Each structure stands twice: as structure tokens, then as C-alpha cells.
Amino acid sequence: MGSATAPTSPNALCFSDGLPSTGLPCHVEISADGLTVRFDEHNGLGEVNLPFRALSVSAGGLNHDQLVVRWGTAPSTQTVYLKDPSLIRTFRSAAPPELMKELDATAAAVRRARSRNRMAWGITAGAIGALMMGIWFSMDLLVGWAVDRIPLDWERRIGESAYQDFLIQHPAVKDGPAVAAVQEISERLIAHIPGNPYTFEVAVVKSEVVNAFALPGGYVVVFTALLQQAENAEEVAGVLSHELNHVLERHALQRIVKQLGLVTTVGIIIGDQQGLARVMKQIGVELLSLKFGRSQETEADVTGLQLLHRSHIDPSGMVTFFQRMTQKERGGVEWLSTHPMSAGRAQRLEAEIASLPKTAAEPFTFKWNTVQDALRPVAVRG
Amino acid sequence: MKHEILYPGAFPMVRVELAAGETIKAESGAMVASSPTIDIESKMEGGFLGALSRKLLTGEKFFFQTLRASRGAGEVLLAPTVPGEIVIMELDGLNEYMVQKDGFLAGSESIKIESQMQSLSRGLLGGEGFFILKVSGKGSLILNSFGAIHKVELKPDQEYIVDNSHLVAWSGTTSYHIERAASGWVASFTSGEGFVCRFRGPGVVYIQSRNPGSFGAWVRQFIPVSE
């Protein structure tokens, strides 16, 4: 459409008091002198010639994308709405300077409204983004709060069921020098935990896999193969101290809460602790396959070394055991898959040891050879 | 294409007579009955992406159905899901209508339906969501409402205030902005109105006499809660 089309084809809507509220279709033609508005013959309205000086303009329509041309005085004001962009362009190019000023002001107002709209969208998108980032970064803080609110009793129950399930499939070694040695080491360590709220249970399990793990609530399992691989009691103490500190720092609970997500976390903060075990089951969080994060490993390393130091056990056992296991790097050393010994980790451990004040180590009552001999019978007999 | 509203009032139907080869597009699921000469085609208006965006953005159905009198003239009966009036409008190619997402029932093949994004405040507070349908072109547009449909005619610069959840459709020449129903925030919500739309003429605004959201909330209290 445009000024070149046949005069009968309407290209605008005309509004005024006597006309329908949806507007009367009309044909607008633009010339150098002004506007000609032509109505359908059967309307009996004929045509109106309007010089530019009689017109005023503004923007209209839902998105301010229509040009509103107005003429006449108050009671008998008439308006045409121009929507066709080419018609609006023609109007602009024909308009005299006085009207141009009005047109420019209108266009500026529309641009301002549009940029305000864009800005509002931008600000909203930004705010949502910032909120998400905030939640992401405060997640650890929230997890911490939630974990603090889980009662010990609950933690114990969660850990105990997994512990019992595990022991049914992997019977514990009941007595013998190995069990006695592990007991002595753990008792020494546990005795040096200040304000220990846990009643620890440490089990030795017969297995070819080099592994040890801790469950929430204070349940620790050491595999016989790990004892066989250890060259001295201090190395076992290093592993045990590390595992005990996973419990003390409630690392497993932190992982669980993180896996369960923010909604549950908030639920726990608000007080729905009953739901934790149920939700864990639903989501299928398995304690035994739970892996700790790097920062948790570091924390357990550092606090583990401190505990060894307080217990008067040579802390270098922790480093030597990790390092030897990594060098061997063969199948069956499961503990390494969850505790990889990177160069960085070794350095950190050694730096940590160096920073600890020197104390004399107190020896254990057992001989490590005896323990290892006791673990060997299977091989000897075979 | 001839059409007629049957049983005007709360439970109306539209009978559309199609000449051989003529088509009508309708909201999917709107067909009640038809002559055996009519074929139903599912069509994604505006292509797959257009349909997808309409579905995702306006909540309007993914497909429109196209009813084609491919094997000779025939009639189709169409009805909306909710009880309420039907109104038929003839678009002249100049007037455009904005239609809230549940308001569209059917239209001639020649009318054009697009999704249009609203401004943030209208989208958030207007009650129609961020996207509405923009219907243009030449042909018949059939709208349905929840309750009775009331037409408000606005002269140039005449203003009118409508509760946002009662909107069905309005012409493209009217503009509106959102404002609080009462002068204070608390009063706005305790009055039960919250936000309202201030329309400014010229043009027409179609409003529905019932509020679907409030009706839903009212029904919900009678639904037994199962554990």
C-alpha cells in the first residue's frame, strides 16, 4: 500500500465521535501540501483535504508503532491511525519543518519507551542471573547450615544401616593381632579428639582390595589388604586419622545434602530432618559409593595430620603410604581412586608436617611384623 | 464461508458452512462434528518453530487444526472448552486484534496469527503472560470467553479500567498500561483486584464476565484432598 494505490483501497483507520469505535477504513493520500482522507462512497463522507499546518502528530497503538494524525478542535477532533511503514515514511518526507519537530519528538519518545522496556528486561535478566550466581556460591554455606542442623542421632542411624549392610556381605575379622593393632591405633587417635561427640566403631574386614572408608556417625572399615600393604603402624594410623576426620567434619552428610539439592537443604534448615533418610532412599544416594570433594580431602588431610601429631604418632606415615600406593598403581588399590595422590597433595602434606612443632613419637605396644605375619597365613598355607 | 452461533449464551457452538475447497483454522480440539466432506489437517501455523514458540510462549495449543472442505461443501460445528459466549468479528485488513491466549477459537484461513512479546510490566502483571496472540489480515475471527463477552467501545483518548484477568481481546489501536487497583499496595491486594489495565482509546476491548483463575480457586476448595 502507499499513495500510489487505487483511491478505493483503504490504508488507514479514521476515528471521531460519530464513527464506529473500531475506526472507519479510509484512504490517506499524502502530497506536498498535506493530507487527503478519502472515505468509501457509500459512507457519504466524501473526502477531506487537510493542509499540514492543521495537523498534529503522536504515536499510538499497543507498541507505539502507529502514527496518529489529528486535526480539528476539541469537540469535533478527528484522528487517523497510519500503520503502513511506507505510508509513515512518505508522511515524514513530505512534512514541513514545524511538523518535523513534532514527529522527531514523537519518535524520540517511542525510542525512549522502547529502550526503557529493553532496560527493564535487561535488569530483570541480570537480577535473575545474579540470584542464581548467589545461590551457587552460597551453596556451601547453605549446605553447612543444613548439615549443622542434622542431629547426631540421625547421622548415626544413616551410617549404621549402611555399616550393617556392608558387614553382612563382608564379615569382619573378630580377633587376632591385626584387629588388636587397629583397635590400639584408633583408640590412641580417638582419645586425642577434643570434645569428640562420636562413639567410633572400627572394623577390620577381610578383603583383597586395598581400601578403608568411613561412614557418617563414626563407622570406619579397614580392609586387610590395606594392612598388608602398610609398612608400619604409622601408615595405618595415617589412613585411619584421615578417615576419622571425614567423620568429624561430617563430610558424608555434606555430600548427601549437596546431592539432594537446595530444596531439601532448605527443608532440613527449616526442620524436616525426618525426611532426610527417606529422601536419600528415593534419590538413591548410596553411602558406600559416595566420593568426597577435593576440598574435603584436603580438610581431612590437614585435620588428620594434626590429630596424628596430637596423638604422638609420626605423621609422615600418611604421606609415605599415599605415595607408595600411587607409585605401585596397580589394580585393587581402590582407596586411591577416591584419594588420588597428586604431586600437589604430597607437597601440601609435607608442608603441613613441617609446620607442626616437633614432638617425640610414642611407639605402639605391638610389633608391626607380628601383625603382618598374622595376616599372611592364607598365603603361607596356600 | 458462512457462520452462525447456535445456542447463544453459556454453552454455544458455532456452525461454519464451508464451500467446496474452503478451509477454516480452529484451536485444536475445537471441532465437535462435521460433514463427511470435511477433512481435518493438523497444521503448525507459522512453521514448526512458530508453532513451538506459540506453544511454549503463549501456552496456546501447538497445532491449530485446519478443517478443509476438500470433498465438497459441508458444515463444521466448533465449540470451546470452557462455558462462555462466542463472538465473531470480521477483520477488514486494517484492524488488528490482540487476543489473550485462551481467547482464540477459530478463524478464516486468510487471517494471520502471530505471537507477540509484551513489555515486562504487562507480561508480569497483565495476567495474560509475556506473550499474546496478534491476529491480523482479512477474514472472520471467532473468539470465546469464560462467561459472557462484553464489548467496550472507546473513543479517541477515552480511558477505561479492566481487571487484568477479565481481558479477552482488544484492538491494535488501543494501548494500555498496568497500574495498581487502589492507590496503596496493601489496598490494591485487599480489594481483591491487585493490578488492573488502564486502556486508552480509540478501539474496542472485549472482556469476559468471569475470571478463570478465581473460578479455579473457588472450585479447588471442593475437591477432596487425597493423601
Q: End of a domain among A110, A139, A166?
A: A110
Chain A: give the shortest CA distance to residue B173, in Å.
4
pLDDT of A238 > 80? The answer is yes
Q: A51 lies in a domain?
A: yes
B166 Cβ partners below 8 Å, 6+ apart? B207, B208, B209, B210, B211
Report the percent of chain B where pLDDT is more than 90: 48
Residues A102 and A232 in one domain: no
**In this structure, how many other beta carbons lie within 10 angstroms of the beta carbon of residue A357?**
5
* Alpha-helical runs (H) found in chain A: 85-94, 97-148, 152-169, 177-191, 224-229, 233-248, 251-260, 262-270, 275-283, 294-310, 316-328, 334-338, 343-355, 368-375, 377-381
In a domain, B170, yes or no: yes
| Number of A–B residue contacts, CB under 8 Å | 65
CB contact under 8 A, B120 and A117: yes
| Residues contacting A169, CB < 8 A, separation 6+ | none
DSSP notation for chain B = -EEEEES-SSS-EEEEEE-TT-EEEEETT-EEEE-TT-EEEEE-TTHHHHHHHIIIII---S-EEEEE-TTS-EEEEE--SSSB-EEEEEEESS--EEE-TT-EEEEETT-EEEEEEPPHHHHHHSSS-SEEEEEESEEEEEEE-SB-EEEEEE-TT-EEEEEGGGEEEEETT-EEEEEESSSSHHHHHHTT--EEEEEESSEEEEEESS-HHHHHHHHHTTSPPP-
Residue A382 pLDDT class (50, 70, 90 cuts): very low
Q: CA-CA distance, A202 to A98, in Å (whole number)?
A: 93
A69 and A191 fall within a common domain: no
Contact B98 A121 (CB under 8 A): no
Tell me the pLDDT tens digit for each residue of A184-227. Answer: 999 999 999 988 899 999 999 988 888 888 888 899 999 998 88
In this predicted model, what pLDDT tens digit does every residue of A7-31 receive, in sequence order? 568 899 999 888 888 899 999 999 9
Please indicate, yes or no, whether residues A155 and A99 belong to a single structural domain of this protein.
Answer: no
Distance CA A236, CA A206 (A): 16
Chain A CB within 8 Å of residue B224 CB? no
Q: Do B92 and A81 touch (CB under 8 A)?
A: no
Residue among A12, A15, A62 minimizing CB distance to B175: A62
Angle among Cα A345, A350, A351 to the nearest 5 degrees reads 100
Helix, strand, or coil here: A124? helix
Look at residue A82 and tell me if it is in a domain. Answer: yes
Across all residues in chain A, what is the average pLDDT?
A: 82
A121, part of any domain: no
Mutate to test the interface with B, among A24, A62, A106 (most CBs of B within 10 A): A62
Backbone angles phi and psi of A203, in degrees to 5: -115, 145
DSSP β-ladder status, B31-34 and B2-6: unpaired
Does B226 reside within a domain? no
The yes/no answer to whether this complex scores an ipTM above 0.90 is no
Chain B, 78 to 107: residues with Cβ < 8 Å from chain A are 92-96, 98
CA-based nearest distance A277→chain B, Å: 21
Question: Do A285 and A166 share a structural domain?
Answer: yes
B214 to chain A, any CB pair closer than 8 A? The answer is no
Chain A hits for B121, Cβ within 8 Å: 120
Question: What is the per-residue pLDDT for A47?
Answer: 87
The answer to whether B94 contacts A62, with C-beta atoms less than 8 Å apart, is no
Any A CB within 8 A of B178 CB: no
CA distance B134 to B99: 6
Residue A136 lies in a domain: no
Same domain? For A262 and A330 the reply is: yes
Can you tell me the distance from the alpha carbon of A133 to that of A325, in angstroms, rounded to the nearest whole number? 40
Distance from CA of A65 to the nearest CA of B (A): 10
A340 compared with B96, residue with greater pLDDT: B96
The tens digit of pLDDT for each residue in A316-333 reads 888 888 777 777 655 555
Please enumerate in sequence order all residues whose Cβ is within 8 A of that of B223, keeping only pairs 6 or more positions apart, or say none.
Answer: none
**Over the stretch B34-60, which tens digit does the pLDDT of each residue have?**
999 999 886 655 566 666 665 555 555
Torsion over CA: A244, A250, A254, A257 (sign): positive
Instruction: State CA A256 to chain mean position distance.
Output: 14
Q: Given this model, what pLDDT does residue B36 score?
A: 94
**How many beta carbons lie within 10 A of that of residue A53, not counting itself?**
12
Q: Do A117 and B94 make contact, defined as CB atoms within 8 angstroms? A: no
User: Total structural domains in chain A?
Assistant: 2
Place of cell 508522511: A91
Buried b / exposed e across B58-78, counting CB within 10 Å, b at 16+?
A: bebbebbbbbbbeeeebbbeb
Residues A156 and A84 both lie in one domain: no
Mean pLDDT of B81-92: 93
Nearest neighbour of B172 by CB, restricted to A20, A61, A121: A61
A162, A225: one domain: yes
B contact test, residue of A17, A22, A116 with most B CBs within 10 A: A22
Query: A244-291 pLDDT, tens per residue?
Result: 999 999 988 888 877 777 666 666 656 655 566 666 655 556 676 677
Burial of B114 per CB tally in 10 Å (0-12, 13-18, 19+):
middle
Alpha carbon distance A215, A217 (integer Å) = 6
Task: Examine residue B167 and state whether it is found in any structural domain, yes or no.
Answer: yes
Residues of chain B with Cβ-Cβ distance to A22 below 8 Å are 95, 171, 203-204
Amino acid at A76: S
Query: Does B227 contact A at CB distance below 8 Å?
Result: no
* H or E element at residue A58: strand A56-60
Same-domain pairing of A199 and A304: yes
Interface residue ranges in chain A relative to chain B, Cβ cutoff 8 Å: 10-13, 15-17, 20-23, 25, 60-62, 64, 66, 77, 79, 81, 83, 117, 120-121, 124
Residue A143 resides in a domain: no
Residue ending a domain, choose from A62, A80, A110? A110
Question: Is the pLDDT at B152 greater than 70, yes or no?
Answer: yes
Q: What is the pLDDT of residue A4?
A: 45
Number of domains in chain B: 1
Domain contains A135: no
Spatial distance between the Cα atoms of A334 and A226, rounded to a whole number of angstroms:
10
Chain centroid offset of residue A88 CA? 51
> How long is chain B?
227
Residue B21: predicted pLDDT? 92
B116 vs chain A: nearest CA distance in angstroms?
A: 10
- Whether residues A213 and A327 share a domain: the answer is yes
Contact A17 B120 (CB under 8 A): no
User: CA dist A129 to A102, A135, B39, Å?
Assistant: 40, 10, 49
Chain A residue closest to B98 (CA)? A62
A318-356 burial, b for 16+ CB within 10 Å, e for fewer?
bbbbbeebbeeeeeebbbbeebebeeebeebbeebbeee
- If asked whether residues A61 and A203 sit together in one domain, one would say no
Q: What is residue A271's predicted lDDT score, i.e. its pLDDT?
A: 60
Which positions in chain B touch A77 (Cβ < 8 Å)? Answer: 156
Q: What is the DSSP secondary structure assignment for residue A212, as one 8-state letter?
A: E
pLDDT of A68-118, one tens digit each?
Answer: 999 988 778 899 999 889 999 999 999 999 889 889 988 898 888 888 888
Task: Give the DSSP per-residue string, A277-344.
Answer: HHHHHHHT--GGG----HHHHHHHHHHHHHHHHHTT--THHHHHHHHHHHHH--TT-HHHHHS---HH
- Judged by CB atoms closer than 8 Å, whether chains meet at A25 and B154 is answered as no
Q: Which residue of B has its CA nearest to A75?
A: B156
CB-CB under 8 Å, B172 with A62: yes
DSSP label of A153: H
Closest CB to B95 among A13, A117, A121: A13
Cα separation of A185 and A311, whole Å? 9
| Phi, psi (rounded to 5 degrees) for A111 | -60, -40
In a domain, A125, yes or no: no
Residue B212 covered by a domain: yes
Of A57, A139, A40, A127, nearest in space to A92 by CA: A57
Domain span holding position A91: 12-110
- What pairing do the DSSP bridges indicate for beta strands B112-117 and B64-68? unpaired
Q: How far apart are CA A28 and CA A9, in angstroms?
A: 10
* A16: chain B residues, CB-CB within 8 Å: 156
Task: Look at residue B227 and tell me if it is in a domain.
Answer: no
How far from the centroid of its chain's Cα atoms is residue A219's Cα? 30
* Same-domain status, A104 and A161: no
Q: Which residues on neighbouring strands pair with residue A69, listed in sequence order?
A: A57, A80
For residue B38, what is the domain's CATH number?
3.60.160.10
pLDDT digits (tens, 9 = 90+) for A105-152: 888 988 888 888 888 888 988 999 999 888 877 777 877 877 887 788
CA distance B159 to A28: 27
Which residues touch A149 (CB under 8 Å, ≥6 apart)?
Answer: A268, A269, A271, A273
Quote the CA–CA distance of B67 and B88 in Å, as a whole number: 18
List of chain B residues whose C-beta atoms are within 8 Å of the C-beta of residue A112: none
Dihedral of alpha carbons A324, A328, A334, A339, sign = positive
**Residue A5 domain-assigned (yes or no):** no
B86-100 mean pLDDT: 91
CB atoms B94 and A13 under 8 Å:
yes
In a domain, B41, yes or no: yes
Give A-chain residues touching B95 at CB under 8 angstroms.
Answer: 13, 22-23
| CB pair distance less than 8 Å for B156 and A25 | no
CA dist B138 and A71 (Å) reads 29
How far CA A355 is from CA of A194, A242, A249, B6, in Å, comes to: 21, 18, 22, 91
Nearest to A60 among B96, B119, B175 (CB): B175
CATH number assigned to the domain comprising residue A77? 2.30.29
Q: Contacts of residue A61 in chain B, CB cutoff 8 Å? A: 172-175
Which residues in chain A touch residue B203, judged by CB atoms under 8 angstroms apart?
21-23
